[in-house]
């Protein structure tokens, strides 16, 4: 990871790749690298689909090493969805493989001069870029099959589906998992459209002949890694709940808390929740011969993923995440797991953000396009996106645009990005994160559900305004740092509750790089990243007025607690301001 | 004009109207009244289609009097298109009629509790509001026919077509002309969608029994009015060019100047310009038995309008304006006047901004939906909007949204509003207005073409950056003041060139109201309005970054002069900043 691969897609005579030393970007990884490069090199007011935008793909600081949980990869650019800076990260294999190939990041620049679609093969010998227009409008699953046929099974793929090619603002970038399926996605903010605008259909990585990245102090590193892993296994969330039921363990919890947004954020509880819960999903998977516990990348010890098979036992999709089940489920009044799983597959194959698309369908339901609860209708809408019909393009552009086009007032977005599966009125800490994160409404940016609902890292009453600013700020800072390490964010549960697990993480970083970082240094890194991101947005033309929830969350109470979002604007302005 | 009519569309038990004294709003009219009410009463961050937004319709200070040219009416609200404050004004009869009925303005508030469509009848006896769902999705022409059948021929109508009912961001509000046709429109910014969100289909005005508004000093007023009228007749633009050929006299002029945006702002000259020029239009109208010279309201002495008939002599539409002919013509590579006239009719009937729709079709052409020059295809697209199909809704949402949905980078908008018929690289003063007007890209906000191209009010080289800031600022200030008087903006040509005509206008105002306003007072009013509008936008979350042209105007030169827009950002920030 001592070099950055720059690929100029707009070079005369066709795209050109060149590796350069990390230089001034040394010491950065994942989100801290993508956000720094975007901040320094992308004009904040540029059109997100223009040659001036850049797409940065970066493994984390510990990716490619033997560190457990270090398989996250960050994607950065100016977002076509929010108009601000974007970092979306994903699990899967590519982070480890890219890191082992020695790249701290790939930076795509420019735009092809001709209307061609490219595939890019990277191995120990270098980079091969070739035109392959036969891949046009293929789904992610088909693309990966084609790459397997061409390059063998020892690869990892980063690809876009038809949505990214169509440059839709809800398009994702897919990353293959251990079974070489395109099931892990950098979903949010339309990063797939930026890859599409660069003409890149797929990046194939092959690390044959490369080894684990070596720590400076191997002994200390291994010892810390062991403590770290034990810490994760010890904690209730990372050691039990997530492995057993996956992220969807949250359905019953959030529903019980009255914070499960139902019928496009009209109610806080869904009558059909139990039918789509993590418990129900795991039981069904086990019964049908799928997998209820499974990792998305090698080195994962939490194993919150799984394999969802249909009633005949055939693979349908990976175990859908909580937010996906919610977006296509409760949000739309749908309680049929098989149909939700079908939409998860369609989203993955088409290359779409499941949160944005589920929320968009709920908004379309509110607009009268179909009835709440109409699962087959919802599936048809997702298919429509893949076909690129006008209706499909509307929906594939996300909830904000769909709301505008159908004249809907109730559109749950911040900075144009759809809210995830937690009602901001009933999990107010997360409401603060939605409002103030430079990323737009994003639960992962500062996951206050942990402390508001799961009582991890202390407890702050989710229904009260008090304490939420500090909670969200601390979590946003910590997250920006974790997102730089390549570590899965779920380590945060154990790290927040168990000081020794946090220390183990620090020790790993220090042993790997020969550093002596303190907890304060990590906090400083997180703060620096957040400030930089906020500054990019300011230069792009955003103000505090964009750090707000839509008005109706402040005036329309949500059942069952009948609460509104009552954190004041003045307080919100203090979050990324220290 | 001593009262304001407030209609609460969201009142319990159905909409309620109440007249109140003008109070603190005394002395304001037209744009100064709409922008003041919107600034004081509408929360800048509200959703434009929410109950919190207000729709203000206001005649000008001299409307309803015997003053020549005083037939403009202003519509104000928070814009669904730009997200900022909006004043769109229109000719036609309603301004005079509403003023004579004694109303300085109508303010629509709230939102109907039930999904009903209302018609509102206003005469000397008061206001009658009734549900009339039989008007649903009728075009403006049919609505007016229905109103004539119900209320007789001595009315003036303000209505929305299907576009406004669908709350599309390019929807207009139609105002009837002297022949009771819905041909005059407050076009820009989606004001029709706000009327639609209030559930108001049509406002029928009947001033039977009312008289001209009386000046304080009748003698002085009549004398000034005479001088004013003579001044208009004397000037080359208002006395000859506009009466003979209408606004479309500009096609040949702008094309000759190399500032006629062609093929979605790719070139500055259109080979087919002569076939769609004002001269050609007037000759055709005369030959077929239409009218080449005609006024849009009683008391007009410029008479830049006309009647466009088809080849069999049947009424097709009013004489299309220059910007309409350009948007549906050169911008789309179309040079067939009959087809352009058909689109003008469809826009008027559906209730659409001709500029926004024409530009949108050009963007759709750039996206590959149809070929440049395909007139029949373009007509089909306009029809699609009226049908409310997904494609129609995309197009009816304007150029910015259409560009987003189809992933097009070249979208000529500022603050989400489409640029009119003057290339900002080759008429740089107008480029400054596009960038800095609180209204978004709007030629009428500070019509620098006058001085850049027509050499009215002096001369500033259109191709150079020098002098454009001051030019645009002065014009924007003057325009904000003129838009408050109810005067047609075209008086500006004579007023800018002939000090005695400006004095006559001042004398008229002073004689009418018993005031002693100086030129400085008028300037102060204009400045106050602009500052207020900019402040609303600031509170709505806009910054200087929104006061910019899209990047490509700064990097891609336009033929034939091969110039880019090179007024610096720092200079732009000085325009509404004194």
Q: Write out the DSSP string of B323-352.
A: HHHHHHTGGGT---HHHHHHHHHHHHHHTB
What's the CATH code of the domain at B39? Answer: 3.60.9.10
Q: Which of A43, A394, A541 faces B390 most closely, judged by CB atoms?
A: A394
- Show which of residues 156-175 on chain B sit within 8 Å of chain A, judged by CB atoms: 166-169
Is there a single domain that holds both residue A39 and residue A184?
yes
Which residue of A50, A115, A380, A404 to mutate against B (max B Cβ within 10 Å)?
A: A404
Claim to verify: residue B201 and residue B268 sit in the same structural domain: no
| Residue ranges with strand state E in A237-390 | 291-294, 305-309, 315-318
Please tell me whether residues A69 and A153 are part of one structural domain.
yes
B401 to chain A, any CB pair closer than 8 A? The answer is yes
* Interchain contact, B169 vs A548, CB within 8 Å: no
For chain B, what is the mean pLDDT? 97
- Distance (Å, rounded) from C-alpha B498 to C-alpha B6? 40
Q: How far is CA A154 from the centre of its chain?
A: 25
- Our count of domains for chain B comes to 2
Question: What is the chain A residue with the closest CA to B52?
Answer: A551
Please tell me the predicted confidence (pLDDT) of residue A296.
92
Any CB–CB contact under 8 A between A50 and chain B?
Answer: yes
Per-residue tokens: A469: 């600013």
Contacts of B406 in chain A (CB under 8 A): 167, 393
For residue A72, the enclosing domain spans: 3-205
Q: In the structure, what pLDDT confidence band is assigned to residue B302 with cuts at 50, 70 and 90?
A: very high
Chain B partners within 8 Å of A406 (Cβ):
167, 393
B184 with B293, same domain? no
Which residue in A168, A540, A545 is closest to B545 by CB distance?
A540
**Beta pairing, strands A291-294 & A305-309:** antiparallel
The residue to which tokens 């207005």 are assigned: B433
User: Which chain A residue has its CA at the smallest distance from B536's CA?
Assistant: A545
Instruction: Give DSSP secondary structure letters for B239-259.
Output: IIIHHHH-GGGHHHHHHHTT-
Q: What is the pLDDT of residues A266-306, one digit of tens each?
A: 999 999 999 999 999 999 999 999 999 999 999 999 999 99
Nearest-Cα distance to chain B for A368, in Å, is: 12
Share of chain B above pLDDT 70, in %: 100
Return the DSSP state at B238: I
Quote the ipTM score: 0.93
In this structure, what are the phi and psi dihedrals at residue B126, rounded to the nearest 5 degrees? Answer: 135, -150
In a domain, A230, yes or no: no
- Whole-number pLDDT of residue B223: 98
Q: Does B326 fall in a domain?
A: yes
Which of A43, A394, A541 is closest, CB to CB, to B394? Answer: A394
Interface touch B551/A47, C-beta < 8 Å: yes
Q: Which of B189, B205, B221 is the last residue of a domain?
A: B205
Conformational region of residue B351, where left means phi above 0, alpha means psi within -120 to 50, and beta covers everything else: left
* pLDDT tens digit sequence for B503-537: 999 999 999 999 999 999 999 999 999 999 999 99
Q: Do B551 and A391 touch (CB under 8 A)?
A: no
The CA distance from B520 to B529, in Å, is 14
Task: Answer yes or no: is A11 within a domain.
Answer: yes
Long-range pairs, B452-458, Cβ under 8 A, ≥24: B452/B427, B452/B428, B453/B253, B453/B254, B453/B257, B453/B259, B453/B427, B454/B237, B454/B253, B454/B493, B456/B237, B456/B492, B456/B493, B456/B496, B456/B497, B457/B496, B457/B497
Please list every residue in chain B whose beta carbon sits closer than 8 Å to the beta carbon of residue A551. Answer: 43, 45-47, 50, 52
B18 and B122 share a domain?
Answer: yes
Phi, psi of B184 (to 5 degrees): -105, 135
* pLDDT value at residue B221: 98
- B405 touches A: beta carbon within 8 Å: yes
- Contact between chains at A545 and B545 (C-beta distance less than 8 A): no
pLDDT exceeds cutoff 90 at B172:
yes
Chain B residue numbers touching A552 (CB-CB < 8 A): 47, 50
Question: Looking at the structure, do residues A82 and A163 belong to the same domain, yes or no?
Answer: yes
Classify the C-alpha dihedral A338-A341-A342-A343 as positive or negative: positive
Q: Which of B428, B450, B411 is nearest to B572 (CA)?
A: B428
Task: Note the pLDDT of residue B1.
Answer: 81
Identify from B393, B396, B537 which residue to disrupt to test chain A contact, counting A C-beta atoms within 10 A and taking the largest count. B393
Cβ contacts (< 8 Å) between A169 and chain B: which residues?
404
- In total, the C-beta contacts within 8 angstroms joining chain A to chain B are 98
B574 found inside a domain: no
Query: From the CB of residue A441, how many other CB atoms can be counted at a distance below 10 Å?
Result: 30
pLDDT of residue A163: 98
Shared domain check, A294 and A161: no
* B385: nearest CA partner in chain A: A405
Q: Is B518 on the interface with A (CB under 8 A)?
A: no
Using the Cβ of B394 and the Cβ atoms of chain A, whether some distance falls under 8 Å is answered with yes
- C-beta of residue B170 within 8 angstroms of C-beta of residue B347: no
A46 and B CB contact within 8 Å = yes
**Residue A232 in this model has a pLDDT that exceeds 90:** yes
Q: Is A43 on the interface with B (CB under 8 A)?
A: yes
Q: In the predicted model, is pLDDT for residue A248 greater than 90?
A: yes
What local confidence, expressed as pLDDT, does residue A281 receive?
97
Task: Determine, yes or no, domain membership for B75.
Answer: yes
pLDDT at residue number A1? 82
Q: End-to-end distance of chain B based on CA atoms, in angstroms?
A: 33
Supply the pLDDT for residue A253.
97
Which residues from chain B sit within 8 angstroms of residue A409, using beta carbons? 47, 49-50, 197
Among the partner residues B168, B193, B405, nearest to A394 by beta-carbon distance: B405
User: Of A25, A7, A38, A203, which is closest to residue A108 (Cα–Cα)?
Assistant: A7
Please tell me the distance from the alpha carbon of residue B57 to that of residue B38, in angstroms, as a whole number.
Answer: 11
Is the CB of A43 less than 8 angstroms away from the CB of B551?
A: yes
Site of tokens 């109907």:
B112
Query: Which of B390, B403, B556 is the best mutation test for A, with the most CBs of A within 10 A?
Result: B390
Q: Do B80 and A404 touch (CB under 8 A)?
A: yes
Q: Which residues have CB under 8 Å from B276's CB, separation 6+?
A: B248, B251, B325, B329, B330, B334, B335, B336, B337, B340
Please tell me the distance in Å from A262's CA to the nearest CA on chain B. 21
β A103-109/A3-8 pair status: parallel
Confidence check: pLDDT of B385 > 90: yes
The pLDDT mean for chain A works out to: 97
User: B400 and chain A: CB distance < 8 Å anywhere?
Assistant: no
Is residue B69 domain-shared with residue B148, that is, in the same domain? yes
Contact residues, chain A, for B49 at CB < 8 Å: 407, 409
Distance from CA of B44 to the nearest CA of A (A): 9
pLDDT of residue A578: 86
* Residue B26 exposure: Cα atoms within 13 Å on the Cβ side: 6
pLDDT value at residue B359: 98
Domain boundary among A147, A175, A205: A205
Rounded Cα–Cα distance for residues B238 and B494 (Å): 7
Rg of the Cα atoms in chain A = 22
Q: Same domain for A279 and A386?
A: yes
Q: Which residue of A has its CA nearest to B393?
A: A405
d(CA A295, CA A383): 28
Tell me how far the alpha carbon of residue A187 is from its chain's centroid. Answer: 5
Query: Are A44 and A193 within one domain?
Result: yes
pLDDT in tens, A22-64: 999 999 999 999 999 999 999 999 999 999 999 999 999 999 9
**pLDDT higher than 90, residue B413:** yes
- Look up the CATH number of the domain holding residue B356: 1.10.569.10
Same structural domain for residues B297 and B190?
A: no
Tell how strand A118-123 and strand A200-205 pair up.
parallel
Instruction: Check CB contact of B540 with chain A, cutoff 8 Å.
Output: yes
The shortest C-alpha distance from B92 to chain A (Å) reads: 28
User: What pLDDT is stored for residue A76 in this prediction?
Assistant: 98
- CB within 8 Å: B407 and A196: yes
- The residue-averaged pLDDT of A506-526 equals 96
Instruction: Confirm or reject contact between B415 and chain A (CB < 8 A).
Output: no
The average pLDDT across B452-471 equals: 97
Q: How many residues does chain A have?
A: 578
Dist CA A528 CA A393 (whole Å) = 37
Indicate whether B277 belongs to any domain: yes
Q: Do B543 and A541 touch (CB under 8 A)?
A: yes
Record: contact B407-A539, CB cut-off 8 A? no
Sorting pLDDT into bands at 50, 70 and 90, what band is A492? very high
Q: Cα B42 to the chain's mean position, in Å?
A: 21
- Which of A193, A405, A534 should be substituted to probe chain B, the one whose Cβ sees the most B Cβ atoms within 10 Å? A405
DSSP state for residue A236 in the 8-state scheme: I
For residue B409, which residues of chain A lie inside 8 Å, CB to CB?
Answer: 47, 49-50, 197
Nearest CA to CA, how far is B280 from chain A (Å)? 37
Structure tokens at B151: 């209320």
pLDDT of residue B578: 86
pLDDT tens profile A131-182: 999 999 999 999 999 999 999 999 999 999 999 999 999 999 999 999 999 9
**What is the pLDDT at residue A304?**
95
- DSSP for B536-578 reads HHHHTT--GGGSS--THHHHS-BTTTTB-----HHHHTTTT--
Q: What pLDDT, on the 0 to 100 scale, is given for residue B267?
A: 98
Residue A551 contacts B where some CB pair is shorter than 8 Å: yes
Asked whether residue B445 is domain-assigned, the answer is no
Q: How far is CA A186 from the centre of its chain?
A: 5
Q: What is the pLDDT of residues A380-408, one digit of tens each?
A: 999 999 999 999 999 999 999 999 999 99
With CA atoms as reference, the chain A residue closest to B402 would be: A394
- If you average pLDDT over residues A193-222, what whole number do you get? 97
Can you read off the two tokens belonging to residue B68? 């020549």
List the structure tokens of A155: 């690869």
Please list every residue in chain B whose beta carbon sits closer than 8 Å to the beta carbon of residue A47: 409, 550-552
A167 and B401 within 8 Å at the Cβ level: the answer is: no
Q: Is pLDDT of B243 > 90? A: yes
Count Cβ atoms below 10 Å from residue B516 Cβ, excluding itself.
8
B64 and B200 part of one domain: yes
Closest to A432 (Cα-Cα) out of A537, A547, A532: A547
Question: Which one of A167, A544, A551 has the shortest CB-CB distance to B46?
Answer: A551
End-to-end CA distance of chain A: 33
Contact A44 B545 (CB under 8 A): yes
The half-sphere exposure of B466 on its side-chain side, counting CA atoms within 13 A, is 4
Task: Look up residue B402 and give its two tokens.
Answer: 């259409």
Token pair in block for residue B467:
């002098």
E-assigned strand segments in A339-403: none
Residues of A in contact with B393 (CB under 8 A): 394, 405-406
Residue A538 placed within a domain: no
**Distance, CA of A46 to CA of A52 (rounded, Å):** 6
Tell me how close the Cα of A540 comes to any Cα of chain B, in angstroms: 6
Among A205, A230, A259, residue at a domain's last position = A205
């Amino acid at each position: 990871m001592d070099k950055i691969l720059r690929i100029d897609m707009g070079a005369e005579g066709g795209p050109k790749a060149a590796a350069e030393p990390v230089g001034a970007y040394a010491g950065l990884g994942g989100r801290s690298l993508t956000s720094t490069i975007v901040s320094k090199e992308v004009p904040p007011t540029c059109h997100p689909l223009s040659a001036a935008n850049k797409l940065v793909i970066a493994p984390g600081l510990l990716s490619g090493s033997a560190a457990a949980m270090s398989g996250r990869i960050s994607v950065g650019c100016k977002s076509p969805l929010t108009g601000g800076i974007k970092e979306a990260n994903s699990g899967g294999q590519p982070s480890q493989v890219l890191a082992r190939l020695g790249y701290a990041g790939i930076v795509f620049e420019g735009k092809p001069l001709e209307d061609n679609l490219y595939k890019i093969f990277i191995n120990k010998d270098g980079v091969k870029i070739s035109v392959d227009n036969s891949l046009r409008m293929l789904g992610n699953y088909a693309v990966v099959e084609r790459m397997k046929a061409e390059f063998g099974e020892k690869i990892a793929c980063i690809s876009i589906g038809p949505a990214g090619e169509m440059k839709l603002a809800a398009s994702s970038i897919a990353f293959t998992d251990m079974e070489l399926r395109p099931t892990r996605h950098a979903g949010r903010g339309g990063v797939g459209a930026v890859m599409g605008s660069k003409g890149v259909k797929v990046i194939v990585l092959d690390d044959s002949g490369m080894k684990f990245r070596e720590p400076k102090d191997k002994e200390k590193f291994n010892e810390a890694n062991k403590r770290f892993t034990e810490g994760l296994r010890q904690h209730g969330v990372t050691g039990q709940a997530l492995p057993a039921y996956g992220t969807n363990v949250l359905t019953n919890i959030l529903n019980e808390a009255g914070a499960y947004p139902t019928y496009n954020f009209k109610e806080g509880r869904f009558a059909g929740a139990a039918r789509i819960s993590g418990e129900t999903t795991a039981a069904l998977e086990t019964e049908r011969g799928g997998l209820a516990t499974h990792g998305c990348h090698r080195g994962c010890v939490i194993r919150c993923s799984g394999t969802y098979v249909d009633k005949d036992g055939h693979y349908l999709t990976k175990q859908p995440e909580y937010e996906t089940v919610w977006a296509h489920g409760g949000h739309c009044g749908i309680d049929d797991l098989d149909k939700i799983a079908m939409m998860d597959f369609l989203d993955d194959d088409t290359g779409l953000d499941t949160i944005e698309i589920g929320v968009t369908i709920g908004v379309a339901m509110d607009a009268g396009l179909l009835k709440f609860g109409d699962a087959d209708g919802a599936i048809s809408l997702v298919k429509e996106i893949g076909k690129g019909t006008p209706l499909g393009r509307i929906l594939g552009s996300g909830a904000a645009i769909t709301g505008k086009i159908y004249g809907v007032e109730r559109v749950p977005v911040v900075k144009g990005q759809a809210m995830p599966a937690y009602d901001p009125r009933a999990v107010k800490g997360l409401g603060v994160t939605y409002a103030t994160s430079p990323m737009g409404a994003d639960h992962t940016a500062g996951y206050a559900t942990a402390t508001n609902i799961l009582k991890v890292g202390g407890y702050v009453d989710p229904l009260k305004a008090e304490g939420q600013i500090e909670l969200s700020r601390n979590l946003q800072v910590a997250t920006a740092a974790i997102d730089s390490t390549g570590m899965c964010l779920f380590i945060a549960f154990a790290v927040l509750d168990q000081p020794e697990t946090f220390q183990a993480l620090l020790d790993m970083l220090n042993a790997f790089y020969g550093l002596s970082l303190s907890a304060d240094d990590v906090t400083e890194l997180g703060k620096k990243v957040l400030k930089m991101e906020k500054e990019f947005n300011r230069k792009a033309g955003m103000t505090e007025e964009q750090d707000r929830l839509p008005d109706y969350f402040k005036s329309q109470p949500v059942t069952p607690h009948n609460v509104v979002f009552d954190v004041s604007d003045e307080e919100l302005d203090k979050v990324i301001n220290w």
